Each structure stands twice: as structure tokens, then as C-alpha cells.
Structure 1
Amino acid sequence: MPNEPTFQTLHIASVSFNSLLLGEVVVPDWICSIATMTLLSSMVQQEHWVAVRSIDKPGKHDFKILRKLVLPDGSILRARYAGRPTRDCLFVDPVMDGKSLLKIWNLNKLTGVVGVFNCQGAGTWPMKQAPERNENSTVSISGRVSPLDVEFLEEIAGETWDGECAVYAFNTGSLSRVPKNKTIQVSLDVLQCEIYTVSPIKVFKENVDFAPLGLIKMYNSGGAIEDCTFEDSIRIKARGSGLFGAFSSKNQRCCKVDKKDEDFTYSSENGLLTVNLQSESSFKEIEFVY
């Protein structure tokens, strides 16, 4: 299957819709060959946040993909549920109608996540005739992504949440501030995909808007966030190592990782705050001081 793109789109759509039922009664387990798995397949596996077992022979692993799926200690950033289609995808054909993107949502402890996939123009359902099209043409599909695509987002946002979210796109690296009832546009060619981390924005000391994003080089970046508390400073308990990102409306005075000063970068254009987590410990305490 991984070597045949026409099967991948069918598989992705089938698994996501099957999860509406099976995700309530079983914990899915995908066995895969990472060496032959495309970016589309690897991202949808992380979107479902199931256990991923690689059956590649020694020397055949694709470590570029593995590093985005698996932490150095061998664990993965698993979300709460099996990935399910968003509400606006329930009664469309994301494989053959020529106009619909497939969106799959999931939830972490403090963030939501939406994976968007263009499954059009590659495969066809059995016993269903595909529409005629030029073989050399590409099917570029546009759609909209909203924080409301993530079910139960209010439960992790808290009672004081005003509906604002920080939305980070994994592939493009763009960071947007989006109210929960607004949308952002996404356009994807055939077999392309994007994963959006959706983090509710909270107010710190009445003048700083802040939202943790997690390990932004991992597919499910928000799965790295275990806890986030606002006291005299902002303290985050995180898993793993790598580039940790957050949205902040203002630059901070200093950053500490495990009580040691750490260099950080801040972009005033989009509010992206990043710090590199380098220690080998599984859990780290990050402190942002304003």
C-alpha cells in the first residue's frame, strides 16, 4: 500500500471514517513500513495518534520521518482519541467529489490539532467510476480551517477563555491568531497535507496573551505539553527535546529550562516564541518571565 499512491488516499479516508465507531471501542494499532511510507501516510498516522510500529529492516528506516513521530526515548506524542473527521466532512466524499478536503481532528491535554489532506484525484472507490480528467492535471483543492473543527476545545481552554486561538501550521511554519468562530484558508495539491496545532490563548497578568504550541518540529506538537500554569511567571511542563514554540503577544525578559537560563528567539511579526530544549531528561520545566 505505501508504494501505491492510489491506495493511500482510500486508506486514509477509510480509517478516519471507521474511527467514528471503532475509535469508541478499540485502541487502533498501525503496523507500517516507515521506509516506504509517504509524508501523507505518516502525517495521517500521527493525526490518529495510535501506536506506530515500524517493520522496516535494519538500515531501511527513514529517520527524517521517524524524528517527527517518535521522541528520543521511543515514546510518541499521543493525543486523547482516535482521529475523526470534522463535522463538515461527514457527508462529503473526500476521495472522488473533486472539491472536498479531508479534515481530521484530535485533542491533547492543552491543545487541539487538525490534519488537512487532499485525497482527491489519486484513487477511486471500488465499484465507482472516476470522473474524467486530464492525466497531467493536478487537483488543487481549497478549504477552510477553524478552531471549532476541534471538538471539546472549550473543555481544555477553561472558563476564562475568550475564544481566541493561536493556530500553527506544521509545513509552512505560519502562526496566526484566529477567533474560534473565524477560519483560515488552506489550499493543497494532490497528496499534499498540512497539520494545524490549535492552542487557546490565555491572558497573563492582564497584558500578555499567551498560548503554548509544543515541539513544533513534531507532527503533534501540542502533545508534548503536560501542564501550563500562570503564577508570577508562566511555567510549562513538557516532554521530549527539540524546538519548543509558543505564541506570545509580548517579548519576555528571560527564559529558564530546568531552572537554568536558556537562549530564546521572539518574532514580533507573528508572536512566535521559541526555545531549544536540549537536555536528555524526559520531562522539562520551562519558565517564561515577563
Structure 2
Amino acid sequence: MAKQIFLLDDPKAGNGWKVVQKIDRRGLYDIPELNQDNNDDNIADQQLSLAGVPEFEIPIESISIDLGDLPRYNAPEEANEDEDEWKSENDSSEDNERTFHTLLLKLVRIILYLFRSYLSVPPNLRIHVLHDLFSFGCYACVAGDDFWFQDPNGDPMGVYWLQGVHMIHCAYNSMWMGQIIHPDWDMFQSDHLCAKFHAGSRVICGGLVYVSDSVSGHDFDLIKKLVYPDGTIPKCQHFALPTRDCLFKNPLFDNKTVLKIWNFNKYGGVIRAFNCQGAGWDPKEQRIRGYSECYNPKSCSLHVSEIEWDQKIEATHMGKAEEYVVYLNQADELRLMTLKCDAIQVIIQPSSFELFSFVPIKKLGHNIKFAPIGLTNMFNSGGALQELEYKSSAAEVSAMVKVKGGGNFLAYSSESPKKCYLNGAEVAFEWSAEGKLALNLAWVEEAAGISDVVFPFLIIN
């Protein structure tokens, strides 16, 4: 068995001391050197004996391949040398089916070609045609180009503007891939200069969140905004998609468009606005290069109606609410919005973003409005909400919330609650006239990080 060791710093012994970490990798074996004195010209015929690996033979006639539901075509008993193609029992129907599939794939290729041309997308971008997607044997697949730590062409600014290219690839490819498999937005490195920029997109993508940091090269303060202490994540309910007003724009270097992507949480919707301007594919140079004239602040507008609520049955009712509370994660602001009011106007700095959570407001009695937002110390604040229930009596109504995670819990409340109970015990809370209702939650390992929060309100008739 092959072995590998790492020398790790020993924090107990002090500087200069190392700890030997042995790694035994399964499936890797020490391969002996081939006999160079062997006169056999075909070196592949030389037998390799691996220690610990048993030798056995598999008869070729015992190997079978399961083709599943793939159509099978049988050759005629007597082949005709003048025929160039195999013919099935029902030639006309199968020929028509093959012709239809061929035309459909050609149409898809034409659409993708126009899509690439319009956005000036590099030809080696991971855009998959339909027959590739249907042949995938996995639940998730990487939706974009690889994460680039720096510009392979040596542009020092590439460490910034290349990151926006990665997000554009993933967002637009998800429109195709998301209908068949779950798009994976790939890894990033938490100590990168634009790590926060990447983290803001991974948390809304609805897929896995993972990093490829080097040993001791971690930004744990950033990782804690994405992952719970038990390794789970506050994942969105859907796969992230661009808003409609971004579909036929160029968020890379048209010098005006901000990439906006949306998704669902269990009790609300989210929109993330990213300033990806500053790079793109140059057809003349045949490479991705920087467009420095585009790398500057951009303004954009956001509205709750840009979330496609009808794309998930469980979310449809949230798109019909009378009023929403909007939480701006980076600015730490609360705003109110209705379906008929004006959009929110914001300015996004280059290689930066803003995270918007839209939560339907519940009316409790005649005078109280309430909406849980979640944990503000997590990028996907609303993903921490596990359960939400309301109970009422003649004198009071209670909002009961199950929250996963530790940190600052925030809700919108038009009135101050009478009390606050955390896991059955009365605790202090903060309420301001602008509607911010907050309290601090601790991670309780024995409860898998779940906290029960209850806010009772007095009903005024």
C-alpha cells in the first residue's frame, strides 16, 4: 500500500517542531519499476505483481454490459454489402425519430453558438448539449469553468476580474443544466483576495459549498458565514438562476449590467446582486482578458417580483403576499416592499455584492406585523429558519420559530413582543422602532444546533 506523510506544525512543542501525519490512501499501490533488461519490445506485456493484490482472471464471455433503456438495433440475418446502414424492424418510425433528434441537437448548437457570440463567451466554456446532459450518471455536475486563483496570462488584475467570469459561467449554464441535474458551482479558496465574492455566490447556488484551501490557508471567519459547526449548510431550496432582465445582457463588460441571481428558502426568497464587470472573451485575441474601463461601481434595481415564485410549488403562495420585509445582509438594513411599489436602487462596488432576503409579512391580529429573517451572521440568513408556526388565543398570539445555528437572530416586528422565550426559558431581547427584533442564540451541540424561539404578543382589539 502506498503511503504519504505531511509535516504539520506542532503547536504544543513550539516553533521548529513538526508532527508527522501519515496518510494511507485506499486504492493506491506501490508500482515496481519495469524490467528494463527485458528484450520484449512491448513493455505493456510485462507482468506487474502488486503486493497485497490478489491475481485472478475474468473470462471475457462472462462480461455483460447493461444498456438500460437505450434502443437496440439488430442486424439482419443476411447482411447486404450494398447497404451502408443498419435497418431496424420499423425503419420509418425510427428514422423519423433519429432525424428529429439530429435536428433538435443542431438547433441547440445554433442557439448556444448565438448565446456565446452575444455574451462573447469563450468556446471552451462548459456549455453542455442535450445528449451530454441526459447521459450524466450523477446528481450534480460542475456548471462553469474552473476557479482561477490568478490570471494564467500574467495580468495582475486578473486575480479580481477573473472571478466574475466564473460566476457568469455558472449562472447561465444553470439555466440548461438545472432542468436535468443539480448545478455545482465548484470550489474556491477561502484565503483568496475575492473569497468573499465567491462565498456570496456559493451560498445562494443551492448546491454544495466546498473549498480547496492549502494546509493552514483557511479564513475561518468567512467559512463560518457559510457552514454550521456540524458541517451542514443553510442551503437554498432550488438551484440559482439569473433574473429575467439579465438573460440577454452582458454582465461581464457592457459597462452597465449587474448580475442578479435568485433562489428560494423555506420561508422566503433571495436575490444576490454581483458586480462582475471587468473581463470577458476577446474573439480577436482568442482569450479571456480584462476590460479595465468596466471595472467600476454599478447601479442596479431589485424587486420582489423578480423572484420566480411559481417555479416551486411550495413557494407559490409566498409570491402572493401583501407585503414583504427586505433584509440587506451586507448593509444590515431593513426595508418594506409590496408587489406594486418601486424597486430598490443600490450601487454595487467592483468585485462586490449585496444579499437581499425577501420574507412575506404575517399579520397577527389587527395591529401587529411579523416576519422572521434568520441569522444575520450567515450569508444565507433565511436558510437558518427550520420551522415557523403561529398560535393565537383570545388575549395573545405567539410566533414560534425553530432556528438552526448560533449568532444574531433577526426578525421584523411592527410592535414589541410581550416576552421572549428561548428553549423554554425567558430571555432578554432587543426591539427598535424601525422594526428590528433581535436576540443572540448559542449553538447547542446536544440539540444539533436547533433553538426554539417564541415571541408572544398582546392582541389589541
Please report how far the alpha carbon of residue 217 of structure 1 lies from its aligned counterpart in structure 2 after TM superposition: 1.2
How far apart are the structure 1 equivalents of 2:431 and 2:295?
Answer: 38
Matched, 1:118 2:275: yes
Please report how far the alpha carbon of residue 108 of structure 1 lies from its aligned counterpart in structure 2 after TM superposition: 0.8
Counterpart secondary structure, 2:332: coil
**AA partner of residue 198 (structure 2):** S
- Higher normalized helix content (fraction of residues): 2
**AA partner of residue 322 (structure 2):** G
Matched, 1:243 2:408: yes
Contact 2:253/2:291 (<8 A) preserved: no
**AA partner of residue 247 (structure 1):** Y
Question: Structure 1 254/31 Cα, relative in aligned 2: closer, same or farther at 3 Å?
Answer: same
Contact 2:443/2:450 (<8 A) preserved: no
TM-score (norm 2): 0.59
How far apart are the structure 2 equivalents of 1:192 and 1:172?
Answer: 12
How far apart are the structure 2 equivalents of 1:77 and 1:31?
Answer: 17
- Look up the match of 1:12: 167
- Look up the match of 2:26: none
Matched, 1:187 2:347: yes
Matched, 1:278 2:433: no
Question: Matches of residues 136-175 of structure 1 in structure 2 within 5 Å?
Answer: 139-152=296-309, 156=315, 158=317, 162-175=321-334
Give the gaps of 5 or more residues in structure 2: 1-147, 151-158, 393-397
TM-score (norm 1): 0.91
Contact 2:280/2:290 (<8 A) preserved: no
2:259 to 102, 121, 126: 102
Contact 1:226/1:236 (<8 A) preserved: yes
Matched, 1:198 2:322: no
Contact 2:274/2:354 (<8 A) preserved: yes
Contact 1:244/1:276 (<8 A) preserved: yes
Contact 2:279/2:290 (<8 A) preserved: no
Please report how far the alpha carbon of residue 134 of structure 1 lies from its aligned counterpart in structure 2 after TM superposition: 6.9
What is the count of residue pairs matched by the alignment? 287
Report which of the two structures shows the higher radius of gyration computed on alpha carbons: 2
- Look up the match of 1:77: 234
Question: Structure 1 133/57 Cα, relative in aligned 2: closer, same or farther at 3 Å?
Answer: closer
Question: Structure 1 128/142 Cα, relative in aligned 2: closer, same or farther at 3 Å?
Answer: farther
**AA partner of residue 429 (structure 2):** F
Q: Which moved more, 1:248-257 or 1:145-154?
A: 145-154
Question: Matches of residues 36-55 of structure 1 in structure 2 within 5 Å?
Answer: 36=192, 37-55=194-212
Bigger relative contact order, structure 1 or 2 (CA pairs below 8 A, ≥6 apart): 1
How far apart are the structure 2 equivalents of 1:202 and 1:126?
Answer: 50
Question: Structure 1 128/10 Cα, relative in aligned 2: closer, same or farther at 3 Å?
Answer: farther
How far apart are the structure 2 equivalents of 1:84 and 1:151?
Answer: 9
Please report how far the alpha carbon of residue 138 of structure 1 lies from its aligned counterpart in structure 2 after TM superposition: 5.2
- Look up the match of 1:35: 191
Question: Matches of residues 249-288 of structure 1 in structure 2 within 5 Å?
Answer: 249-268=414-433, 270-280=434-444, 281=447, 282-288=449-455
